Amino acid sequence: MKMVLNQIIFKTCLFVLFVFVFVGCYNTGTGEVTWGPAINFKLPAFPETGSHQVMVFSEMHYSPSYRSQEVPRILPPKDSVPVTGAELVSFEIEEIKEWKIPGNVKSDFDIDNAAKIYNYNCAVCHGTDLEGQGPITSILSGRNDGSLAYGPDDGAAPVNLNSERVWELSDGEIFAYITWGGRPGYSSAKRGKDSPAIMPMFKYLLSEEDRWELVEYLRVWHGENR
């Protein structure tokens, strides 16, 4: 008995739907339903694709609820002037040559800290003694002929940082080459291209101050070991 009733209800619904579609009251494209002045569903009564996009926030700080719980930002007093300023970015070599190691980097220079930054970031290629013979230079290439992966033949050998080539550079030039990944990295960045060099762009790995500290580190090393 229940089965028969269910079937009757199901068939009636199907019939009503059929009539709606047939008489043009149910728009199969948009899902809108109209039936005289009484029934008028402008939004799809039966959404076919789901009408709302669900936003999934992958990181917590994108979430509005997280923002609203943050402490209010304290704005700087009116008319204040930034003293540290944003990092200077220039690709004009004449301009870069004029840049000097900032005074505070020189006055606060801590050789042990600078050596740590150098040994963590640079020594693998340029060597702890700066001569360009870091552990990377003993890696063999995949050619199976005893050749080196980062040897001078491929033009990928790390530069000897304690050489005339580098002594003669200005502070700004050394800073720019550390920032963009050597001379090839600098030229590529200037043209808005990716660097072909194996040296990373330290702009994204070390702070501006750390990079200046490295310039001073090279200078002090040159002074002592030249």
Interface residues with ligand HEC (CB under 6 A) are 121-122, 124-126, 136, 155-156, 158-159, 161, 165-166, 174, 177-178, 182-184, 197-199, 202, 214
Which residues are registered as beta bridge partners of 35?
A: 37, 39
Looking at the Cβ atoms of 63 and 90, the one nearer to ligand HEC is: 90
The tokens describing 87, both together, are 């990092």
Looking at the Cβ atoms of 33 and 157, the one nearer to ligand HEC is: 157
Smallest gap from Cβ 44 to ligand HEC, in A, equals 57
Looking at the Cβ atoms of 166 and 220, the one nearer to ligand HEC is: 166
* Closest chain position to ligand HEC (CB): 122
Q: Is the dihedral of CA 3, 9, 12, 16 positive or negative?
A: negative
Smallest gap from Cβ 135 to ligand HEC, in A, equals 10
Strand, coil or helix: 113: helix
User: Residue 119 and residue 213: Cα distance in Å, rounded?
Assistant: 13
Looking at the Cβ atoms of 161 and 189, the one nearer to ligand HEC is: 161
- Cα distances (angstroms) measured from residue 195 to each of 186, 187, 191: 8, 8, 10
